[in-house]
Structure 1
Amino acid sequence: MSGLVTLFVSSPDTRSERRFDLQLPISQLKEKLELITGIPVGNQKLAIYHDDADLQPVKVFDDDQRPLGFYSPADFQVLKVVDTNPSITFTGQLTDLSGVDKFELSDEQYALRQDSVLAYKQRNKVGRFSEKTEPTPAPAMTVDIPIGSRCEVESTEPGLHKRGTVRYVGTTDFGSAGGVWIGVEYDEPMGKNDGSVEGKRYFTCAPKHGVFVRADKVRVGDYPVLDPFEDEEM
Structure 2
Amino acid sequence: MSSALSLFVVSPDTRSERRIDPHITVEQLKSKLELITGIPAANQSISLLNSEDDPRVVDQLSDDSKALGFYGLRNFQVLKVDDLNPSVSFTGQLTDVSQVDKFEMSDADYAMRQDSVLSYKQRHKVGRFAPKTDASKETENVEIPIGSRCEVESNEPGLSKRGTVKFVGQTKFGSGGGIWVGVEYDEPFGKNDGSVQGERYFACKPNYGVFVRPDKLKVGDYPELELDLDEEM
Q: When the two structures are superposed, what TM-score results if normalisation uses the length of structure 1?
A: 0.45
Instruction: Between the two structures, name the one with larger relative contact order (CA 8 Å, sep ≥ 6).
Output: 2
Q: When the two structures are superposed, what TM-score results if normalisation uses the length of structure 2?
A: 0.45
Pick the structure with greater CA Rg. Answer: 1
